[in-house]
Structure 1
Amino acid sequence: MIFGPTPIDEAKGAVLAHSLRLTGKVLKKGTVLDDEAIAAIRESGKRDVITARLQAGDVPEDEAAERLAQALLATHLAKSRAATGRVNLLAETAGLLVIDAKRIDQINAVDESVTVATLPNHSVVTAKEMVATIKIIPFAVPGPVLGVAEAVARRAGPPFAIHPFRALKVGLVLTEIPGIKDKESVMEGAVEATATRVEALCGTMLPVERARHEEGPVAEALGRLKRAGAEVLLIAGASAVVDRRDVGPAAIVRAGGVITHFGMPVDPGNLLCLGRIGDIPAMVLPGCARSPKLNGFDWVLQRVFAGLTVTGDDIMAMGVGGLLKEIEVRPLPREQAPRMPPPALAPRRARRVAAVVLAAGRSRRMAPLNKLLVADTQGVAMVARVIDNVLASHARPVVVVTGHERDRVEEALANRPVLIAHADDYAEGLSASLKAGLAALPTDVEGFLVCLGDMPLVAGPMLDRLIAAFDPEEGRAIVMPTFRGKQGNPMLWSREFLAEILTITGDVGARHLVGKHADRMVEVEMADDAVLRDFDTTDALKGLPKTVKV
């Protein structure tokens, strides 16, 4: 690939290296220059332009990313479409991501032009979650380089595996020491925390067994749970396990099992005891498992639910990264220690993002009804449901633009902490409402979500995903939600586009500006189609779920 200034007369077929703003036209970075584009550049007075010119055997960035992604695909993985030399790999099911880290390192070592970034090994993933991204750095890759990367990716099978979580039945034994009453609430916390973990991994809890903190009664309780169909056995002791021969481990052995490992290089979680009774994993939990916070038990339980055999070697390899919280010198018991945050690098500053909710329309397709005021089965008006969802996000302030039936819309939103911006000229179309909302924004907001008043299924966490992706300094100045590749709403815009949006006229919004600023836009894939669904007809309203999640 030849990169650098190229005379206009030699630029046909070359790839534009940087976006060009010409009179009445924008040529985006990555554009393959044709006769029309070259004529526009020449008319602007430029004699040369910075381009990338492909040579024989070079593979364009999108094709290269697509080919490498195809080589990396595995069961339960899907890929996004190629764009700007990038393809994302997405999980198709909930499970545990297992990566051949050495192979990924080998692919990244082939050439600086080819990169693969992944989630950490043994990450828990959900359906539709991105697990890796392939990015081709230049505009093209030499064919032989790509061929080597593909060969490494295919060597000995895919380097990625997603092990789906299994719907296992879990039996829990709580041990009790007579006469110690203050342990009751703590042990109940162990039940709640364990149930939460199990359900998050698609499992179910059998009725909890309680037994005296003695080897015999605990062994008998384990036997009852096994006969009830337990596929995982857990013991939460009233007293912490401190040795392989302690009550919990001894009970596993007495019930016909073996202890395979005691202790782990993970804190919290050091005092985990791992064993089995026949083919059933059996564990004595560390005291930290009574808390919902991440600890070493989580790492082992995730692998068990994913169908992976956990050995002592596996556990002893968890030390790097096993320090899960700051360890301090504690002159006081933990519960009495001052609640001081550990020293750390300064966190990334949160972006101040506002929301503009457009609620001024005349609902022509649903006349004489005003669709925004139609109540759902819980008696909540559609516009109120939308506002409640936005208020459940981190977007602040929330500006509501009114127009048609202003008083009724404001009445439906009574007592909600929103700013009202009335668009006197709302009848002129969507752009008039948008301008009224933007004019009401504080001067210090860095970005704004443009939300539609007839999309009640877009929940707060979805909006927060868009806000989390927003970073103008890194080129993510426009954030667009998608579902299965289809672009939806709401969109998040950086303040840098405010002046341009304010010049729009007619019954249109700002979406058409995306084409001009594609190099500043990022797509965020959503787990469902809420970002595609608006309700602007009576028939559409019939498809509204009976219970709308907020």
Structure 2
Amino acid sequence: MIFGPTPLEEARGAILAHTVRLPGGRVIKKGSVLDEGALTALREAGRREVVAARLETGDVPEDEAADRVAEALRAPLVARSRASTGRVNLFAETAGLLVLDARRIDRINAVDESVTVATLPPYAVVEPREMIATIKIIPFAVPGTVLQVVEAVARSGAPALQVKPFRPLQVGLVFTELPGLKESIMEGAVEATRARIEALRGTLLPVERCRHEEPAVAEALNRLKRAGAELLLIAGASAVVDRRDVGPAAIVRAGGTVEHFGMPVDPGNLICTGRIGDIPAFVLPGCARSPKLNGFDWVLQRTFAGVPVTPRDIMAMGVGGLLKEIETRPLPREQAPKTPPPATAPRRPRKIAALVLAAGRSRRMAPLNKLLVTDPRGTPMIARVVDNVLASHARPVIVVTGHERERIEEALTGRPVLFAHAEDYAEGLSASLKAGLRALPPDAEGVLVCLGDMPLVTGAMIDRLLAAFDPEEGRAIVMPTFRGKQGNPMLWSREFVPEMMAITGDVGARHLAGTHADRVVEVEMASDAVLRDFDTTDALKAAAGLAAPAR
């Protein structure tokens, strides 16, 4: 590939390296292939050359290269986005555990600087449609020989990226008792265990409570086996301190074997793993009584995903295994991810405010105010939209009122939102937008502009937009799409607020995305909710999704 200043006479078919804004408002985006029309516009603007990339024989364009790498890495239960600006994202199609061949990913990244693959940490817990990896081609083209080596490495052996779905296991729990142990402690431990199991799509069988004695525990294990338990857990009234202690000895007495005792994860050191026949059996560490993250979580997640947990696997958990809170390094483990933490502290979450535009006069549904029309559960449309936004990480949530201000505020009674009133709402959408922008907190790094008549956009969808936002990386405007069609809501970096404040008339800010095309990132969604607004009663009646409550 030839890169650098290129005379227009030699630029036909070249790839533009930087966005060019021409007089009259025309924008030629970075990455555009220069055709005769673009070259003519450049000449008329007085340009004589551009910075561009010209492909040589054997070069593969960035989107095609990203597409080929993605296909080489694809596996069952892994979906992908379309290639755009040399990037393809990979997503989990189901809830499960991300299993990586880390050495193979390293080998791919070591082939050439032009091809990169970034993933979540190994054994990350993922939800459906969660991004697990991104493939980015750095230059505008890759030599074909480099791409062939990358494809060969990616396809060698089992898939390098796999999502192991969680299995709906039936779990048996034996809780041992000693005189003087408070009932509240036992109840708390059972509920913490139940919550862990249900989060992984499992079911907890009726709990067996017995004396803290080897024979009694062994008998309880056998009763749970007969009840259909596919995983056996022992929560001791007293922490296990040796392979020959009550819990491990009961596993052996019930016909099983003890495979490993202890782990290099704190909290979680005193765990014991074994099995009775083909049923895994674990003696839980004392910290498992708490809902906070501990080493047992890592073992449990792999077990539910059908990933073997051998003694060597447990011994390899020490790097990143220090989870204990200490005075100089507090960690809110109630909210900690149930995956090994990164080697460095995560970046502070960005503060993104949300504007919900609810000032319009609803002329197409007059005399009704569409925002106050209720769904089959009696929830006004504006309340459903606000509930969905509140289910996301966007804060604060600012509702812009105008037409029937008092009724809108009454419909949102009790919800933790702020209100901004647009006195001039009759002038159109831009007036509502500017009223909301004036109410932004000074420390907001971005603003999510939500429409009050789009009740099918969920909090999870909004969080996907927030996760894509990174102005430093060029992702300063985030736009949802469905099958290539652009939708709402849109997320804007604060740097665009002055331009948004200059908009007039019954229009929003979407046209600014064309002016700043090189700062836009599109996020493909799994449903058309981001395209669906409701302006008529017929549209509302046809909206089957409104029958379900907002999450």
Q: TM-score, normalised by structure 1?
A: 0.91
Residue number in structure 1 paired with 2:333: none
Residue number in structure 2 paired with 1:454: 453
Do 2:355 and 2:436's aligned partners in 1 also have CA atoms closer than 8 Å? yes
**Pair 1:236–1:350, CA change in 2 (3 A):** closer
Shift of 1:213: 0.2
Residue number in structure 2 paired with 1:472: 471
Residue number in structure 1 paired with 2:339: none
Do 2:401 and 2:419's aligned partners in 1 also have CA atoms closer than 8 Å? no
Shift of 1:69: 0.6
Q: How do residues 429-448 of structure 1 correspond to structure 2 at under 5 angstroms?
A: 429-441=428-440, 445-448=444-447
Q: Distance in 2 between matches of 1:53 and 1:35?
A: 15
Residue number in structure 1 paired with 2:63: 62
Q: How do residues 89-168 of structure 1 correspond to structure 2 at under 5 angstroms?
A: 89-168=90-169
Q: Deviations over 1:238-283 (max 9, x none)?
A: 0011111100011001101111111111111111111111100011
Q: Distance in 1 between matches of 2:244 and 2:328?
A: 30
Structure 2 residue matching 1:545: 3-state secondary structure: helix
Q: Distance in 2 between matches of 1:75 and 1:402?
A: 47
More off after superposition, 278-287 vs 411-420? 411-420
Residue number in structure 2 paired with 1:5: 5
The one-letter code matched in structure 2 to 1:17 is: A
Residue number in structure 2 paired with 1:424: 424
Residue number in structure 2 paired with 1:84: 85
Structure 2 residue matching 1:121: 3-state secondary structure: coil
Shift of 1:484: 5.8
Q: Distance in 2 between matches of 1:245 and 1:364?
A: 77
Q: Distance in 1 between matches of 2:372 and 2:504?
A: 27
Residue number in structure 2 paired with 1:198: 197
**Pair 1:394–1:314, CA change in 2 (3 A):** closer
The one-letter code matched in structure 1 to 2:92 is: A
Residue number in structure 2 paired with 1:337: none
Structure 1 residue matching 2:516: 3-state secondary structure: helix
Residue number in structure 2 paired with 1:334: none
Structure 2 residue matching 1:435: 3-state secondary structure: helix
Q: How do residues 102-501 of structure 1 correspond to structure 2 at under 5 angstroms?
A: 102-177=103-178, 179-182=179-182, 184-326=183-325, 348-413=347-412, 417-424=417-424, 426=426, 428-441=427-440, 445-483=444-482, 486-501=485-500
**Pair 1:284–1:395, CA change in 2 (3 A):** closer
Shift of 1:498: 2.5
Do 2:420 and 2:435's aligned partners in 1 also have CA atoms closer than 8 Å? no
Q: Deviations over 1:430-474 (max 9, x none)?
A: 334323433444555432221111123334454344334333222
Q: Deviations over 1:371-392 (max 9, x none)?
A: 1111234543222333344345
Shift of 1:363: 2.2
Q: Deviations over 1:171-200 (max 9, x none)?
A: 0000001x2133x32222221111111111
Shift of 1:56: 0.6
**Is structure 2 residue 21 aligned with structure 1 residue 21?**
yes
The one-letter code matched in structure 2 to 1:102 is: R
Do 2:401 and 2:421's aligned partners in 1 also have CA atoms closer than 8 Å? yes
The one-letter code matched in structure 1 to 2:263 is: M
Shift of 1:119: 1.1
Structure 2 residue matching 1:510: 3-state secondary structure: coil
More off after superposition, 239-248 vs 261-270? 261-270
Q: Deviations over 1:53-87 (max 9, x none)?
A: 11111000000000011011111111110011000
Q: Distance in 2 between matches of 1:402 and 1:354?
A: 16
> Any stretches of 5+ residues in structure 1 without a counterpart?
331-343
The one-letter code matched in structure 1 to 2:245 is: D
> Any stretches of 5+ residues in structure 2 without a counterpart?
330-342
Q: Distance in 1 between matches of 2:240 and 2:442?
A: 59
Structure 1 residue matching 2:106: 3-state secondary structure: helix
Q: Distance in 1 between matches of 2:260 and 2:390?
A: 49
**Pair 1:249–1:28, CA change in 2 (3 A):** same
More off after superposition, 246-255 vs 470-479? 470-479
Do 1:17 and 1:50's aligned partners in 2 also have CA atoms closer than 8 Å? yes
The one-letter code matched in structure 2 to 1:3 is: F
Q: Distance in 2 between matches of 1:185 and 1:435?
A: 53
The one-letter code matched in structure 2 to 1:387 is: V
Q: Distance in 2 between matches of 1:301 and 1:244?
A: 20
**Pair 1:126–1:454, CA change in 2 (3 A):** same
Q: Distance in 2 between matches of 1:26 and 1:316?
A: 57
Do 2:217 and 2:250's aligned partners in 1 also have CA atoms closer than 8 Å? yes
Shift of 1:528: 5.1
The one-letter code matched in structure 1 to 2:114 is: S
Do 2:387 and 2:550's aligned partners in 1 also have CA atoms closer than 8 Å? no
Residue number in structure 1 paired with 2:549: 548
Structure 1 residue matching 2:103: 3-state secondary structure: helix
**Pair 1:534–1:48, CA change in 2 (3 A):** same
The one-letter code matched in structure 2 to 1:193 is: A
Q: Distance in 2 between matches of 1:350 and 1:282?
A: 39
Q: Deviations over 1:342-377 (max 9, x none)?
A: xx9886455443332222223233232111111234
Identity of aligned residues (%): 75
The one-letter code matched in structure 2 to 1:518 is: A
Q: Distance in 2 between matches of 1:266 and 1:223?
A: 30
Structure 2 residue matching 1:292: 3-state secondary structure: coil
**Pair 1:81–1:41, CA change in 2 (3 A):** same
Shift of 1:414: 5.1
Q: Distance in 2 between matches of 1:289 and 1:153?
A: 39
Residue number in structure 2 paired with 1:45: 46
Structure 2 residue matching 1:307: 3-state secondary structure: coil
Q: TM-score, normalised by structure 2?
A: 0.90
The one-letter code matched in structure 1 to 2:174 is: V
**Pair 1:193–1:527, CA change in 2 (3 A):** farther
**Pair 1:252–1:414, CA change in 2 (3 A):** closer
Residue number in structure 2 paired with 1:335: none
**Pair 1:545–1:501, CA change in 2 (3 A):** same
Do 1:360 and 1:423's aligned partners in 2 also have CA atoms closer than 8 Å? no
Q: Distance in 1 between matches of 2:405 and 2:287?
A: 55
Q: Distance in 2 between matches of 1:397 and 1:287?
A: 39
Residue number in structure 1 paired with 2:512: 513
Q: Deviations over 1:509-549 (max 9, x none)?
A: 22233233232122345565543332322233232533422
Do 1:127 and 1:527's aligned partners in 2 also have CA atoms closer than 8 Å? no
**Pair 1:108–1:349, CA change in 2 (3 A):** closer
Do 2:384 and 2:550's aligned partners in 1 also have CA atoms closer than 8 Å? no
The one-letter code matched in structure 1 to 2:445 is: E
Q: Deviations over 1:105-146 (max 9, x none)?
A: 111111010111111112221111111111100000000000
Structure 2 residue matching 1:197: 3-state secondary structure: helix
Shift of 1:298: 1.3
More off after superposition, 465-474 vs 1-10? 465-474
The one-letter code matched in structure 2 to 1:275 is: G
